[in-house]
Amino acid sequence: MQKTQALSEKVGHLLAKHKHVLVTAESCTGGGVASAVTDIAGSSAWFDRAFVTYSNEAKQQMIDVQRETLVAFGAVSEPVVIEMADGALQHSNGTIAVAISGIAGPGGATEDKPVGTVCFAWKVLNGWNKVEMHVFPGDRSQVRQQATHHALQVIYDYLSMEGK
């Protein structure tokens, strides 16, 4: 937890420096990224809002994930998190988004998507984007913590290189 808090502070500094505003679209992390960044004093200068879209209906209603995409690929898929990131940017004042959907467990796993499978998408308005899938070890809490930390780490890494 302290590692994530320290990382959140660094991310906040870089977001402010580069004049970015973060928005999150979270499923399996349940707002964990938003919580981590809003623990930092002054985060209102670089954080706009969070969409906690745990259900498929919420993904569709709040951030325009297409029903067809959910049916074709499942909620834990790269196409869905791409649509989540796009929708989060469209429905916010954010300039950079992270979207997360996964299987934290203990149930919900399939043969091709074991517990710990988490898909991520990051997107900057009119610019950089990245999509990844990871399988994190551990129990539900550990998967969610690792996913939250990873989401912030990729933002930090991107912002550290921006303008170089």
pLDDT digits (tens, 9 = 90+) for 21-78: 999 999 999 999 999 999 999 999 999 999 999 999 999 999 999 999 999 999 999 9
The model's pTM is: 0.96
d(CA 43, CA 15): 10
User: Would you place residue 1 in the very low, low, confident or very high pLDDT band (cuts 50, 70, 90)?
Assistant: low
Q: Are strands 47-52 and 129-135 parallel, antiparallel or unpaired?
A: unpaired
**Gyration radius of the chain over CA positions:** 15
2-161 topology per CATH: Maf protein (3.90.950)
Question: pLDDT value at position 111?
Answer: 87
Question: pLDDT value at position 162?
Answer: 79
Q: Are strands 117-124 and 96-102 parallel, antiparallel or unpaired?
A: antiparallel
Contact 101, 115 (CB under 8 A): no
d(CA 60, CA 120): 17
